[in-house]
Amino acid sequence: MTLTAAADGSALGNPGPAGWAWVVDDRQWRAGGWPRATNNQGELMAVLDLLHATAPRADEPLRILCDSQYVINSVTQWMPGWKRRGWRKADGKPVLNRELLEQLDTALAGRPVTFEWVKGHAGHPLNEAADLRARAAATAFRAGLEPEHGPGLADTPSAPSPVVSVEQPAAPPTLF
């Protein structure tokens, strides 16, 4: 049987306080975030944490509902070329969020995972639930509080969230 979950990220400012969340249903979800990160980092982390949480059930097909074209295209289309070019884009610039993407690549290896795009903020119940929890995590970080992390996946040992750096490269100096 296929397990279906929605994954979403949120940033209050970009970068700014950021959150991520995945939701299977009201009893199975997890969220987290950082004091400063981007929306794309939250989107990627939601999928990465979902893959880690479902690793004990890795033989079971996983359907990930996602409103981020960036995430879907990254893992389903662009990643092979980035890897061939040493994690560089076609224009030769380094791929952003490389650490998250490399961990996603490892977590996806050999797994029966499909991604399905859903329009964000359009009333899809699972996507709305993931968005709400991701935004709540970002809001908690903005307030200097620890977000509610959720119960995780039922009947599965709770795996710790993957540790990733979301450091932003320093902006180049400007003359103005």
Residues taking part in catalysis: 8-9, 43, 67, 121, 131
Calpha distance 164→162 (Å, rounded): 6
End-to-end CA distance of the chain: 58
DSSP string for residues in 99-132: HHHHHHHHHHTT--EEEEE--TTS--HHHHHHHH
Measured CA to CA in angstroms, residue 15 lies from 10, 21, 38, 118, 173 at distances of 10, 17, 4, 24, 18
DSSP string for residues in 123-153: --HHHHHHHHHHHHHHHHHHTT-PPP---BS
